[in-house]
Structure 1
Amino acid sequence: MSDGDTSLNVSYTAFLGTRMVATGLLRHVMLNVKDSLDENERLQLLIFDDRTGKQIDVDIRGMAEDEWDQSGGQTGSLPDTVLNDELPRRAGRPKLGVVSGEVTLLPRHWEWLKSQPGGASVTLRKLIDEARRAGAEQNKARASQEAAYHFMTAMAGNFPQYEEALRLLYAGDNDRFFHSIREWAPDIRNYIQKLTVDAFSER
Structure 2
Amino acid sequence: ALRRLTRWADARREAGGGQIKIRLVKGANLAMERVDSATHGWVQAPYATKAEVDANYKRCLDWVLRPGRTGAVRIGVASHNLFDMAWAHLLAEARGVGGRVEFEMLHGMAPAQARTVLADTGGLLLYTPVVGRDDFDVAIGYLFRRLEENASADNFLRHLFSLRPGTIQFDEQADRFRAAVRDRLLVGSGARRA
TMscore range, shorter length: under 0.3
